[in-house]
Amino acid sequence: MGVNLGRDELERLVRASLDEDIGRCDLTSEAVVPQDARARGVFVAKQELVLAGSEVALTAFRLMDPEVEWESAVNDGAMTSAGQLIAVVRGRARPMLAAERVALNFLQRVTAVATLTRRFVAAIAGTGVRVRDTRKTTPLLRALEKYAVELGGGLPHRSGLDSGVLVKENHVRLAGSVLIATRRACAAAEGHLVEVEVEHLDQIEEALGAGAGMILLDNFEPEEVRRAVRLVAGRVPVEVSGGVRLDNVRAYAEAGPNFIAVGALTHSAPGADISLEIEPEG
């Protein structure tokens, strides 16, 4: 299904989440539900959303019951409407109940990111600008959240500090200037494109002169972005970040950058409303 995690890594993540939730045992289910009982669980979208994370939810059930059956009604990346069936899971009741919350937590979280990303992408349709995520991700869920960004139509940024060079304001302060920080980064880049964050228009030429391969405009207003794009004049790509919301992202896109980085995709995506109803079977 395309989750950006290896099978072993995905299972370790889900197993740790199950261990956190279950602890020694599911006291309630063991007291109330017969050991041989079987159940059927139905996932339903309660709102319009972009589904993501089905494989993670299925992994939670399979770790508890290797013989569980899963039937998808909607594939990851598809848009659903309120009331639409997403999937049906069948298997032993106790393991299903034990996995229920973890499976739903993952599905709701990853779907939320994909859904919000799709809204940002739709808001700038036709401009040619790409929406990108940031490193403002949930600890240990970065690969899943970046997978969701891709499903929503966004473009994942660097996966970690070892996968790209981005000179930010703290680097500049510690180095002493944009010029010095950029020169040092370019000297050690080893083939990586060097992106440099600027906070003022007068830093743009300084960064470009030192070898920057991309300019990141931090907390610029749309009109300032327009001026900055004119100054760069197509020499390198331009990215915008900071203060971008759904109600102003189009204005930023129309100012002419190549990319818009939106931290909200992963740090502020509202939980997707998905229900899981479990009933007896057989």
Name the catalytic one among 119, 136, 158, 250. 136
CA–CA distance, 249 with 247 (Å, rounded to integer): 6
Name the catalytic one among 21, 150, 205, 218. 218
Name the catalytic one among 15, 38, 158, 168. 168
Catalytic residue flag (residue 197): yes
Catalytic residue flag (residue 101): yes
Catalytic residue flag (residue 218): yes
Name the catalytic one among 15, 38, 40, 101. 101
**Structural tokens at position 149:** 């960004």
Are 74 and 19 in contact by the 8 Å Cβ rule? The answer is no
Are 234 and 256 in contact by the 8 Å Cβ rule? The answer is no
Angle formed by the axes of helices 54-64 and 7-22, to 10°?
60
Are 23 and 267 in contact by the 8 Å Cβ rule? The answer is no
Nearest to 135 by CA among 261, 13, 240, 259: 261
Nearest to 80 by CA among 46, 110, 53: 46
Name the catalytic one among 26, 65, 197, 206. 197
Sign (positive or negative) of CA dihedral 112, 113, 115, 116: positive
CA–CA distance, 268 with 27 (Å, rounded to integer): 34
Catalytic residue flag (residue 48): no
CA–CA distance, 32 with 273 (Å, rounded to integer): 28
Q: Which residues are catalytic?
A: 101, 136, 168, 197, 218
